[in-house]
Amino acid sequence: MTRMDKLVYLDNAATTKMKKNVLDSMIPFMTDAFYNPSASYEKAKETKKKIETAREQIAKVINAKPEEIYFTSGGSESDNWALKGIAFSNYEKGKHIITSAIEHPAILSTTRWLKDQGFDITYLNVNKDGIINIEELEKSIRPDTTLISIMSANNEIGSIQPLKEIGAIARQHKIPFHTDAVQAFGHIKIDVSKMKIDLLSASGHKIYGPKGVGILYVKSGIKMESLVHGGEQENGRRAGTYNVPGIIGMGTAASMALERLNNSSEEEIRDYFIKRILEDIPLSKLNGGTKFRLPNNINARFDSVDAEALLVMLGQRGICASAGSACTAGNTEPSHVLSAIGLTSKEANNSIRLTISDETTKKDVDYAVKVIKECVGRLRGRT
Each residue of 16-38: pLDDT tens digit?
999 999 999 999 999 999 999 99
pLDDT of residue 257 exceeding 80, the answer is yes
Q: State mean pLDDT over 41-56.
A: 96
Residue 5: pLDDT above 80? no
**Is the pLDDT assigned to residue 282 strictly greater than 50?**
yes
Q: Mean pLDDT score of the chain, rounded to an integer? A: 95
User: Residue 383: what pLDDT?
Assistant: 46
pLDDT level of residue 262 (50, 70, 90 thresholds): confident
- Mean pLDDT value of segment 260-264: 84
Domains of the chain: 8-18+264-379 (3.90.1150.10), 20-260 (3.40.640.10)
Straight-line distance from the first to the last Cα atom of the chain, in angstroms, rounded to the nearest whole number: 15
The amino acid at residue 73 is S
* pLDDT confidence of residue 324: 66
Sheet strands side by side (includes 96-100): 69-72, 214-218, 199-203, 177-180, 145-149, 96-100, 120-124
User: In percent, how much of the chain has pLDDT > 70?
Assistant: 96
Show which residues are catalytic.
Answer: 327
pTM for the structure as a whole: 0.95
Instruction: Report the candidate in 108, 150, 107, 154 with the shortest Cα–Cα distance to residue 130.
Output: 154
Residues 81-97, mean pLDDT to the nearest whole number? 96
